[in-house]
Amino acid sequence: MQKVAIVTDTIACLPPEMVRQYQLWILPINLYFGDKIYKEWIDITPTEAYELFLKNPEHFKTSAPSPTDCLEAYREASKRVKNILCVTVSSKLSMLYDSARLAKEQAKEELPGTTIEILDSCTATAAEGFVALAAARAAEAGKNLTEVVKAAEEMRDKVSVVVLLDTIRYVYRSGRIPKVAARAGSILNIRPIFTISGVVNFAGVVRSKESGIERLLKTMRDKVGLSPVHVAVMHAYALDEAERLKERIASEFNCSELWLSEFSPVMGYACGTGTLAVAFYSGE
């Protein structure tokens, strides 16, 4: 019998079928377009959100779930079990970790019989998703809260993610480069590559999508070699390219697990459409 419920957020890029399979509670990112507010995967799909983004990128905004949103997830999860682990996107990239902790304090009075732990994944995208999945799979196996947290922490230490942007045009929104530099880079067709380890780390630039994909695959090969590997392929409104990348990975690597997902539109806000990425770790 499962003893622990897992809460995570839509930035973890977990496909709906996985969410259902592992009975996860998902905190949706808030998306703003014009005067309307949408909750990701509740009011709008990532594809629909990207279509709004493309209509007018400057009118598209995002925000993390509030403490109230987190508390509601804890309430719902506590109806099933009395132990909850909340896995969040890196605390250095979002306010969500703080919201989750504040909601935990509020839950002490409202849910006195419930134990809640908050784990900073120190990453984002499907790398965060793999941390949440490690916890969910341990919970499904009947592990207790301490063991579930340990499984998530071990995954946090070994999962990697590499992201290839199709444009540098919107990166100024992350606060990492000036807007004028982003526009200049866009004109020159510079495509940045970055990794995430607590924060976003610049890993280089390429001048074409093809060479960028080769860099992604080389990074994977350098880390995993011929070992079995778990892989998630992600895209921002670039399904055909993502499917071709998934096919290449299936043919060139020893995959124990391979799945495809869309980026949360919070990524599109700073990365733009056309972005591709892989999250991966070695293991049977």
Structure confidence by residue, pLDDT tens digits, 24-45: 999 999 999 988 999 998 999 9
Q: Is residue 73 part of a domain?
A: yes
- Can you tell me the mean pLDDT for 54-62? 85
Q: 240: how many CB neighbours lie within 10 A of its CB? A: 8
Decide if 107 contacts 113 (C-beta within 8 A): no
Residues 149 and 258 in one domain: no
Measured CA to CA, the distance from residue 157 to residue 198 in angstroms comes to 11
Greater model confidence, 177 or 191 = 191
Domain end call among 102, 126, 157: 157
Measured CA to CA, the distance from residue 79 to residue 71 in angstroms comes to 13
Query: In terms of Cα–Cα distance, which of 277, 224, 281 is closest to 252?
Result: 224
DSSP single-letter state for residue 62? E
Q: Is residue 46 part of a domain?
A: no
Q: Is residue 119 part of a domain?
A: yes
Residues 245 and 193 in one domain: yes
Percent of the chain whose pLDDT exceeds 70: 91
Q: Is residue 229 part of a domain?
A: yes
Give me the count of residues in the chain: 284
Domain ranges, residue 127: 5-29+64-157
Residues 22 and 78 in one domain: yes
Measured CA to CA, the distance from residue 256 to residue 238 in angstroms comes to 24
Number of domains in the chain: 2
Q: Compute φ and ψ for 56, nearest 5 degrees.
A: -160, 85
If you compute the radius of gyration of the chain from its CA atoms, what whole number of angstroms results? 19
Residues in contact with 50: Cβ distance below 8 Å, sequence separation at least 6, in sequence order? 236, 237, 265, 268, 273
> Taking 50 as the threshold, does the pLDDT of residue 229 lie above it?
yes
209's tokens: 């999508």
Measured CA to CA, the distance from residue 203 to residue 187 in angstroms comes to 20
Residues 9 and 143 in one domain: yes
Q: Is residue 242 part of a domain?
A: yes
Give me the half-sphere count of Cα atoms (radius 13 Å) on the Cβ side of residue 163.
Answer: 29
Report the pLDDT value the prediction gives residue 35, as an integer from 0 to 100: 87
Q: Is residue 47 part of a domain?
A: no
Greater model confidence, 189 or 68 = 68
Residues 101 and 170 in one domain: no
Q: How confident is the model at residue 87 (pLDDT cuts 50, 70, 90)?
A: very high
Decide if 265 contacts 46 (C-beta within 8 A): yes
